[in-house]
Homo-oligomer: A and B are copies of this chain.
Amino acid sequence: MTKWLDSQGIDEDVVVSTRIRLARNIEKYKFPNLIDMEEADKITEDILNALMEVEEKYLFYRNRDLDQFERNSFVEKHLISPNLSEKVDYGSFFLRKDEKSTIMINEEDHIRIQVLLAGLDLEEGWKVCSAIDDELEKSIKFAFHERFGYLTACPTNVGTGLRASVMLHLPALSVSGQMNNIMEGLRKMGLTVRGLYGEGSKALGNLYQISNQTSIGEKEEDVIKKINKIILQIIARERNTREHILEKKGIQAEDKVFRSLGILNYSRVMSMVEAMSHLSNVKFGTDMGLIDKIESKEIVKLMLDIQPASIQKYQKGEKDSDHMIQTDVLRGQTLREKLKILEG
């Protein structure tokens, strides 16, 4: 499902993934929300030309050549944004063959470079992003303001256009009630903490996404370094708390892990919220060596797989409706089947 996750990442017992995103716009065109079809195609053409030399590393897709199902599957694999998938006529994207980077065209900005890596790898992510940025800049003149920096459709991205985010699995800090404090501290340092699906979404499965809040007034390398340093501190604290839990309440922690595995293996109706909570417990178990039959990364994949392609769509769904129950029944079935394979 998710190729980019397959490679070995750093600090993967705590860090699920690193994502770097650069927003760029071409000076001579209006922002995507103001363009027409003709202009959208010209933008796409310019970018195709700019990337000609590195083309063989990528697959190129135009949204209009894909059906709804195909577009959704790219979203589900986190390779393109839900926003891009909705730009049926204007949108297109380059996908690197190893699926580690995507260049989205006519999303919120003309160009969104995205790099996704397993584990903690901010510097590598930045390097890849920056190389693509350099490649584009050879032939494209970006919208740039001497005082503000790169110009973007949304003011929060003005400046470097950089968003660096790291997804962490923090079961021990969550269960021991330390997360509120940590989130407060991160906010004071200009970082944002969100649940798996961005703004306002709850931290399902104890997955937290930490990223820089603004991209103005700081150099890219400094932002990357700052976030990296903070993440390393959180990793250490999470690991300490895990050890502490296993020392003090080992058998109870093991019990919780295996009960979750049992419920996932046997239940017939499973909501997304409950599934994420059990998967989080199981991931804790695999990372701490309590479960040895299952690889931790496989649990991460399940966590990502069961996410609805669009959280908005999910949240709008009526609760307790027959449709909801059918979805929960299907989710239960999928989880049972996948775990049966993983447990061997």
Measured CB to CB, the residues of A under 8 A from B are 251-252, 254-255, 258-259, 261-269, 325, 329, 332
Contact A265:B262 (CB < 8 A) given known A251-B325, A325-B251, A329-B251: yes
CB contacts (< 8 Å) of A265 on chain B: these are 262, 265-266
Q: Which of B252, B259, B269 contacts A266 (CB 8 A)?
A: B259
Min CB distance A336 to B, Å, is 9
Bound form: Cα–Cα A266–B290 in Å: 12
| 22 A-B residue pairings within 8 Å (CB atoms) | A251-B268, A251-B269, A251-B325, A251-B329, A252-B269, A255-B267, A255-B268, A258-B267, A259-B263, A259-B266, A259-B267, A259-B268, A261-B266, A262-B262, A262-B263, A262-B264, A262-B265, A262-B266, A263-B263, A263-B266, A265-B265, A265-B266
**Residues A262 and B269 in contact, CB atoms below 8 Å apart:** no
Distance in angstroms between the alpha carbons of A191 and B258 in the assembled complex: 43
Closest to A258 in B: B266
Kindly state the separation between the CA atoms of A251 and B267 in the bound complex, as whole angstroms. Answer: 10
Known: A251-B329, A261-B266, A265-B266. 6 other contacts (CB 8 A): A251-B325, A254-B268, A255-B267, A255-B268, A258-B267, A262-B267
Taken together as a complex, chains A and B put the C-alpha atoms of A265 and B340 apart, in Å, by: 14
User: A329 to B249, alpha carbons, bound, how many Å?
Assistant: 13
A254 CA to B263 CA, complexed, in Å:
13
Give the complex CA separation of A16 and B252 in angstroms: 33
When distances are taken between beta carbons in the complex, the residues of chain B under 8 Å from A325 are 251
Give the chain B neighbours of A259 by CB distance below 8 A.
263, 266-268
